[in-house]
Amino acid sequence: MTVAEHVILFAGPMGAGKTTAIRTLSDIEMVTTEAANSERHVVDKATTTVALDYGEITVGDEEKVRLYGVPGQKRFDFMWTILKERAKGMVLLVNNDAPEPIALALDYLKDFSQLVENGCVVVGVSRRDINRLPTPDDYADAIADAYPDVLVPVFTVDPRNVDQMKTVLLTLVASLERDESTKELVQ
């Protein structure tokens, strides 16, 4: 039996919880490329991802999902280009305490627009315990305005919470399978 494999990206701004989310989900010890963070005045955390994070999770009996985290900073966008070519879907994590988080989310979606237009993106809003607003509905409305032909689910998430992250991931995997089924029907 062939084991289905998916490559999923975790993208979003520095401090949104991408590395933590992959660590939460991964069945294997994750591969990280953390470096000391020179921008602690921007985001107060000791380290930041400078190339990629990598983890794996098996969904059900047969589906292996490869989880790649990309650096959040725009100066590393060459890594986005490399990794998005392999990806079937993307979890966009946005920390709700970032300045203008909805505009930020839309910026990232634009950079990964092919995945968005394929309907293969889920948004997770983190740090809502710090900032309650905007709400997930606010994000969903703004995304629907920008991409009226696709549905992008939006969840509140704590990247440390395995159940929440699995819900996000399984929602995305279901979207990917629907997309693949549609393509098979068209062919």
| Residues binding other proteins (CB under 8 A) | 31-41, 46-48, 50-52, 71, 73, 75-76, 78-79
Smallest separation (angstroms) from other proteins to the CB of 132: 30
Rounded-to-integer distance, Cα 35 and Cα 33, Å: 7
Q: Give 9's Cβ-side CA count (13 Å radius).
A: 29
- Please name which of 53, 50, 48 lies closest in space to residue 9, comparing C-alpha atoms: 53
For the four alpha carbons of 139, 177, 21 and 117, in that order, the dihedral sign comes to negative
Looking at the Cβ atoms of 28 and 103, the one nearer to other proteins is 28
Residue 92 beta carbon to other proteins: minimum distance, rounded to whole angstroms: 21
Q: CB nearer to other proteins: give 47 or 113.
A: 47
Residue 9 or 168: the one with the smaller Cβ distance to other proteins is: 9
Q: Which residues of 46-77 are buried (b: 16+ CB within 10 A; e: fewer)?
A: eebbbbbbbbbbeeeeeeebbbbbbbbbeebe
Q: Of 53 and 158, which CB lies nearer to other proteins in the complex structure?
A: 53
Please state the closest distance from residue 43 (CB atom) to other proteins, in A: 11
CA–CA dist 151, 114 (Å, integer)? 14
**Least distance in angstroms from the C-beta of 26 to other proteins:** 14
- CA angle (117, 122, 124) in 5-degree steps: 140
Closer Cβ to other proteins, 38 or 187, answer by number: 38
Give the nearest distance from C-beta 69 to other proteins in angstroms.
13
